[in-house]
Amino acid sequence: MLTINVIAHFPASPGVYLMKDAAGVILYVGKARNLRARVRSYFGAAADGRYQIPALMNRVAVIDFIVTDTEKEALILENTLIKEHRPRYNIELRDDKTYFSLRMDFEEEFPRITVIRKVKSDGARYFGPYASATAAREVLNQLSRIFPLRHYPWEICRRRKRPCLFYQIRQCAAPCQGVISREEYAALAQGTALFLDGRDRAVQDLLKERMAQAAAAQRYEEAGRFRDLIRAIGTTLEKQKMVLPGGEADIFGYFRLGNSLEVALLYLRGGRIIGGRNFTTPWELDDAEGLGSLLLEYYHREVVIPAEILLPMQLEDASVFAELLSEKKGKKVTVHYPCRGVKRELMLLATKNAQSAAADRQKGERAAAESLEELRERLQLPTFPRIIECYDISLFQGAQAVGSRVLFREGKSDPKSYRHYRIRDVSGTDDFAMMREVLTRRFSRDTEERPDLIVVDGGIGQLNILTAVLGELGIKGVAAAGLAKSRVEPGATSVEITKSDERVFLPGRKNPVALRQNSAPLLLLTRIRDEAHRFAVTYHRNLRGKKSLHSPLDDIPGIGNKRKQELLLRFGSLKKVREATLEELREVKGITPELAGVIKEKLG
């Protein structure tokens, strides 16, 4: 174990320190304004009060350091090293949710709003983020009723000979048909951006000015459209509560629960809270250090950066962090701890959300553990079923057969461990042979961790295949079970349709285990089985869809998805591509003269 003498050669300057074990594996990467003082804190008496620092220091054999000129450089270097080495004691932000935002490019002739996943530095305006694609599209639908911007790419719009259906229902101004002037459309686009920014009064003032101008010029139909817009905005705003006029901020709150941090993030946009999300991450060191690491990793992603970030505590490097975010956003960003007023109330609300989420998570984990323990007892499993795998087969009329594996860890799904299997060696509709192929391919490789329980979708037949494969491969200590779906009971004379119970089969036992219907263990098994079925069916449908969408263009060397899309956008159909001349093909973006000749030859 290291002693405090190790820091004698550490400089009192900014930098990054790397804690390593005896094998040279990096356990933790940290940054510091003063390297000597920061590392000394791990050996002082105060260190004993922080979470798990003794456990970390007992494993540390070497502490290296890298000096930087500024704290900002230290912050950047720390993030780079964490991304590269993924140290055991640093935060790894596991968030399976996708971030969605709304994008509007004012460089376009007639701007439109699209739902996107990634925020890029491309000069466009981004609004959000939203918790899901559904939430983002709901906002987009509401906007369409107020601001009738175009819905489709301009290449598609300008090829239309008449207005689309959205124009008929007054959700598109039909700029492609010349129904609206460029100036009038620009006012709609500007009003949309102001509305999304929460500048409601500015939107209404702009539209009233436009309405007055149109009325003065005796363009009464145009003035009527602006009047309807003003009324629609007023109706919408009545349903929304303004929290902080003009406010745009990300608001963080946190709660410590054992060796993990629960962090809640609320999105304040246009003075209103539009949503939020929670992060749960293992963290065994100082709270402020953990929150700082989480912020660094979160904003390193392609997310919308607000003008202000409110934190539940003071951070030593808050000013440096604000400088980094300002450079990334291209505008000033402030990062601070609010001490009073509405902003502090919002921060306390985020903290309350974090505490509530931690309590719910703890309650869910307790319930899951109880369900798994009851499952172990009822099925007489040799070990606690911490890891459960389930397998299913999906096919349609004997074609495009696939298998799936889903994995549940501690009673919760682990999507990163899901796997698809395309059936290679079996033709026809032999479910048993397909199940054998999938299981053999899975357990022939000894690189993955072994589950405690394997469940197959089916009855005794599928279970026998599973036990045979495990026996052939010499795999021991893994429990097996088959879960057969309920089925309609025979009885044509009965008025009501009755179904049998879900049945659980175990090796060496003819009759199924009687699990009480709607009991926690059975509901868990059926949820795992249904997830495996969903995952298999989704993959199977994707394969069928790709096969049905196959185009002769896909068989031409040098034609990928992007060039195929450019060709179809330019000509409208495969038939028109086939009829195009060499000169017309060469005019398409990405099509060289040589490639144009190949297209003519292949499609001839």
For the cut 80, the answer to whether the pLDDT of residue 232 exceeds it is no
Span 338-355, average pLDDT: 92
3-state secondary structure of 560: coil
Provide the pLDDT for residue 546. 59
* Residue 48: per-residue pLDDT: 44
Compute the average pLDDT of residues 555-570. 82
| 26-32 vs 62-67, strand pairing mode | unpaired
Mean pLDDT on 288-299: 88
- DSSP per-residue string spanning 268-312: EETTEEEEEEEEEEE--S-HHHHHHHHHHHHHHSS----SEEE-S
Instruction: List every span in the chain annotated with CATH 3.30.420.340.
Output: 249-359, 387-489+497-546
pLDDT of residue 410: 92
- Give the CATH H-level superfamily of domain 552-603: 5' to 3' exonuclease, C-terminal subdomain (1.10.150.20)
Q: What is the DSSP letter of 251?
A: E
Band of pLDDT at residue 358, cut at 50, 70 and 90: very high
Strands (E), 449-489: 453-457, 479-484
**Of 262, 299, 304, the residue nearest 136 (C-alpha):** 304
Pairing of strands 249-257, 308-310: parallel
Structure confidence at residue 170 (pLDDT): 83
Residues 6+ apart with CB under 8 A from 509: none
pLDDT tens across 7-28, in order? 778 899 999 999 998 899 999 9
* CA 358/CA 364 separation, integer angstroms: 10
Structure tokens at 171: 């959700």
Provide the 8-state DSSP code for 372. Answer: H
For the entire predicted model, the pTM comes to 0.68
DSSP β-ladder status, 334-336 and 308-310: parallel
Collapsed DSSP state (helix, strand, coil) of residue 501: coil
Residue 47 sits at the vertex; the CA angle it makes with 44 and 49, to the nearest 5 degrees, is 135
Q: Which of 77-81, 325-329, 575-579 has the lowest mean pLDDT?
A: 575-579
Instruction: Specify the fold of 387-489+497-546.
Output: Nucleotidyltransferase; domain 5 (3.30.420)
* Higher per-residue confidence, 334 vs 544: 334
Is 4-85 CATH 3.40.1440.10? yes
- Sequence letter at residue 219: R
List, as one string, the DSSP characters of 116-183: ES---SSS-EEEEEESSHHHHHHHHHHHHHHS----S-HHHHTT-SS--HHHHTTS---GGGTSS-HH
User: What pLDDT was estimated at residue 49?
Assistant: 47
Higher pLDDT, 319 or 397: 319
**Could you give the CA distance from residue 457 to residue 342 in angstroms, rounded to a whole number?**
54
Q: How far apart are CA 225 and CA 214, in angstroms?
A: 10
What gap in Å lies between CA 335 and CA 328, rounded to an integer?
14
pLDDT single digits (tens) 578-604: 888 888 888 888 888 888 888 888 786
Q: How confident is the model at residue 478 (pLDDT cuts 50, 70, 90)?
A: very high
State mean pLDDT over 50-59: 69
Q: Establish how many alpha carbons lie within 13 A of residue 375's alpha carbon, considering only the half-sphere containing its beta carbon.
A: 29
Contact 130, 101 (CB under 8 A): yes
pLDDT (tens digit per residue) in 482-510: 998 766 555 545 556 556 678 899 998 88
Question: Angle at CA 230, nearest 5°, toward 180 and 225?
Answer: 30
Tell me if 435 sits within 8 A of 466, measured CB to CB. yes
Closest of 461, 455, 421 to residue 440, by C-alpha: 421
Domain 249-359 has CATH 3.30.420.340: yes
Per the CB < 8 A criterion, the answer to whether 334 and 322 are in contact is yes
Tell me if 406 sits within 8 A of 433, measured CB to CB. Answer: no
Closest CA to 33 of 284, 299, 319: 319
Tell me: pLDDT of 517 over 90. Answer: no
Q: Which of helix, strand or coil describes residue 43?
A: coil
CATH code 1.10.150.20 region(s) in the chain: 552-603
For the chain, the residue count is 604
Looking at the predicted structure, is the pLDDT value of residue 256 above 50?
yes
Which tens digit of pLDDT belongs to each residue from 185-222?
Answer: 988 898 888 877 777 677 777 778 878 888 888 888 77
Give the mean pLDDT of the chain.
84
**What integer pLDDT is reported at residue 60 of this predicted model?**
87
CA angle 376, 382, 384 (to 5 degrees): 50
pLDDT band at 564 (very low <50, low <70, confident <90, very high): confident
pLDDT at 539 over 80: no
pLDDT in tens, 69-88: 999 899 889 888 988 888 88
- Nearest-angstrom CA–CA distance, 231 and 283: 51
Q: Which residue has the tokens 């199940």?
A: 435
Max alpha carbon distance in the chain (Å)? 90
Q: What tens digit of pLDDT does each residue of 431-477 get?
A: 899 999 999 999 987 778 899 999 999 889 999 999 999 999 999 88
Instruction: From residue 62, give the alpha-carbon distance in Å to each of 39, 263, 271, 460, 494.
Output: 12, 32, 50, 56, 77
- Delimit the CATH 3.40.1440.10 region(s) of the chain: 4-85
Instruction: Flag whether pLDDT at 145 surpasses 80.
Output: no
- How does pLDDT run across 383-405, given as a tens digit for each residue? 999 999 999 988 765 567 888 99
Percent of the chain having pLDDT more than 70? 89
What is the structure's pLDDT at 335? 94
